Every structure is written in structure tokens, then in C-alpha cells.
């Protein structure tokens, strides 16, 4: 049984149409064909990764201290003091701040566990700062500045 969407053509007509399509693809400018296909295909959603720390999402951070420790007699650098403040978002939407000492701990917090999210939109303010509307795995949407997206 045919639906209203089906059409019926003879096999020789079908073969003629297929031969014509094959000929057109063979002589077409490949760059223009590619541009046409990419501009007319549905857009794929942009996927990003957000860091997870202590079962909460990292939605911001700032450096509190980044100073060098120098040997008083030689003046050579013998170490560093680094402290970071991390803003976390829990499942209820509540934000909290914690402090992390040392770059290795900060890097581990940002890269050990990550979760994939989808970007819903992009905004730019008058200063040129870009932020993204991100759909979290639980369905909530939050706005994040671009530097906090990994």
C-alpha cells in the first residue's frame, strides 16, 4: 500500500535520474559542494566539559596568591606559594567557595573528573567578554564565562 508521500517511476527513468546525479557530482566544484552541504546540514550541538570537584561543578576560580620564595642569601627561587579560590555549584543550585593550596592540587581539581555538557547559546557583553548558556547533565541551564569552560 502506497502512502501519500510515495511516488512511483519506471526503472529506466530512475536510472536516468541517477546517471544525471552522478554526472553532476563528477563535474561539480568540490569546494562549492562542501560549502553547500555544510551550510544546509543541521548544526551539531557544541559539547564542552565542566570540571567536577567533591561532587560539585566548578563554575569559577581566581588566584588569591602566586608568589615566589627566594633564598635570602643567593636570591634564587626555591619555591612558590599558590592559593586559589574555587566556586562550586551543587545539585540544588547553591554556590560555595573553597580554597585550594598549590598548583598541583588546583590542576587536579580542574582536570581529574569532568562531565560533558551542551552549549545552548553564546553572549558577548559590551566589554567583549563571552559567556555561554550551558545545559547541565541534570537539565538545568547556567551561564558561564568562557574562561571557566574546559
Beta 77-89 vs 95-101: how paired, if at all? antiparallel
Domain identity same for 35 and 53: no
For residues 126 and 28, give the distance between their C-alpha atoms in angstroms, rounded to a whole number.
Answer: 44
Domain identity same for 75 and 101: yes
For residues 57 and 107, give the distance between their C-alpha atoms in angstroms, rounded to a whole number.
Answer: 15
For residues 36 and 31, give the distance between their C-alpha atoms in angstroms, rounded to a whole number.
Answer: 9
Per the CB < 8 A criterion, the answer to whether 142 and 90 are in contact is: no
- The domain total for the chain is 2
Instruction: Please provide the average confidence, as pLDDT, over all residues in the chain.
Output: 88
Residue 135 maps to a domain: yes
Q: Is the pLDDT of residue 18 over 60?
A: yes
Residue 4 maps to a domain: no
Residue 110 maps to a domain: yes
Residue 3 maps to a domain: no
Sign of CA dihedral 53, 58, 63, 66: positive
Q: Is the pLDDT of residue 3 over 80?
A: no
For residues 78 and 66, give the distance between their C-alpha atoms in angstroms, rounded to a whole number.
Answer: 14
Domain identity same for 54 and 82: yes
pLDDT for 2: 60
Domain identity same for 141 and 71: yes
For residues 138 and 120, give the distance between their C-alpha atoms in angstroms, rounded to a whole number.
Answer: 14
Per the CB < 8 A criterion, the answer to whether 100 and 74 are in contact is: no
Summarised one tens digit per residue, pLDDT across range 45-97 is 889 999 999 999 999 999 999 888 888 888 888 888 899 999 999 999 899 99
Which residue range forms the structural domain that includes residue 33? 11-40
Would you give the DSSP letter of residue 45?
P
Residue 50 maps to a domain: yes
- Look at residues 67, 111, 105, 109 and name the one whose alpha carbon lies nearest to residue 87: 109
Answer with the residue of higher pLDDT: 149 or 48.
48
Domain identity same for 54 and 116: yes
For residues 106 and 13, give the distance between their C-alpha atoms in angstroms, rounded to a whole number.
Answer: 67
pLDDT for 93: 87
Q: Is the pTM of this model over 0.75?
A: no
Answer with the residue of higher pLDDT: 44 or 95.
95
pLDDT for 1: 56
pLDDT for 25: 86
- Look at residues 139, 130, 148 and name the one whose alpha carbon lies nearest to residue 57: 148
Amino acid at each position: 500500500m502506497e502512502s501519500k508521500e510515495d511516488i512511483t517511476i519506471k526503472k529506466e527513468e530512475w536510472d536516468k535520474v541517477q546517471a544525471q546525479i552522478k554526472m553532476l557530482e563528477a563535474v561539480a566544484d568540490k569546494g562549492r559542494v562542501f560549502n553547500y552541504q555544510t551550510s544546509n546540514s543541521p548544526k551539531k550541538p557544541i559539547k564542552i566539559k565542566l570540571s567536577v570537584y567533591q561532587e560539585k561543578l566548578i563554575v569559577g576560580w581566581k588566584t588569591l596568591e602566586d608568589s615566589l620564595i627566594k633564598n635570602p642569601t643567593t636570591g634564587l627561587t626555591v619555591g612558590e606559594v599558590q592559593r586559589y579560590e574555587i566556586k562550586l555549584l551543587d545539585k540544588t543550585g547553591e554556590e560555595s567557595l573553597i580554597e585550594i593550596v598549590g598548583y598541583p592540587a588546583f590542576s587536579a581539581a580542574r582536570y581529574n573528573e569532568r562531565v560533558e555538557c551542551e552549549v545552548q547559546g553564546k553572549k558577548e557583553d559590551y566589554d567583549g567578554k563571552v559567556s555561554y548558556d550551558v545545559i547541565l547533565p541534570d537539565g538545568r541551564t547556567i551561564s558561564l564565562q568562557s574562561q571557566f569552560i574546559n
